[in-house]
Amino acid sequence: MKNNCFISSTIAFAMVILASSIEAQNSKPVPKPTPSEVRVLPFCGTKKDLKIDPKTKGIFNELSVTKSGRIRIYGTKQDDSGRINGEVVYHNGKIALIPTDDRTGKLVAKLGSQQSVRRYFVALEMEDKLQTEEVTLKEGEIYNWSVKSENGNTTLKITTGQAEVAMITAPTAQVKGVGFAATLRFTKNKADLEVEFD
């Protein structure tokens, strides 16, 4: 009888340890995206759902993107306007796209949003388009961002404290990537957006 109790308690103890080990493995943070996993595309704030091929002939090339350990979209606007398929466009910049793994991080605009000057966006990337939302970011304020896929949907959320700043949701099967973008309107305008990973 004592042996049976001992065996039962040993098995129960082993099951608890195994469950804890599996939970710990599942809760490991996702590694930061490597530079090769971060894709950079031209982005236009007035055509914000358009996924622009960077190889498009004559496409604008505004702002720079660094992508080692974190993403930084920054720079000074060089040209007053650009063209997309012959149409003149003005709010031009870049979008950085990362894989859709569940992850969290911080978002900081070293230069805050300013209407008709500097705009920031978050996006979910689909096969042939972007689903975007403009976010108004205060200069120097630290925002939290998270990507979560559950119940068949992928959600990108931006928060500050308990307040939700932006949220985009789409069916997980359609989502190829998650993105952060910056655009500028006038020549010599500047932008500086940092995306950090937990």
pLDDT (tens digit, 9 = 90+) per residue, 40-51? 999 999 999 999
pLDDT at 17: 47
Instruction: Give the residue with greater pLDDT, 17 vs 59.
Output: 59
**Strands of 130-135's sheet in order across:** 39-44, 92-98, 177-184, 118-125, 130-135
Report the pLDDT averaged over residues 65-76: 96
What predicted TM-score, i.e. pTM, was given to this entire model? 0.85
Instruction: Label residue 73 by pLDDT band (50, 70, 90).
Output: very high
Comparing CA positions, the residue from 122, 135, 108, 123 lying closest to residue 192 is 108
Question: Given a cut of 60, is residue 158 above it in pLDDT?
Answer: yes
Q: What pairing do the DSSP bridges indicate for beta strands 71-76 and 39-44?
A: unpaired
Hey, is 17 helix, strand or coil? helix
- 64 pLDDT higher than 80: yes
Burial code (b: 16+ CB inside 10 Å, e: under 16) for 123-132 equals bbbbeeebbb
Distance CA 92, CA 81 (A): 8
CA–CA separation, 26 and 7 (whole Å): 28
**pLDDT tops 90 at residue 28:** no
Q: What is d(CA 70, CA 110) in angstroms, rounded to the nearest whole number?
A: 14
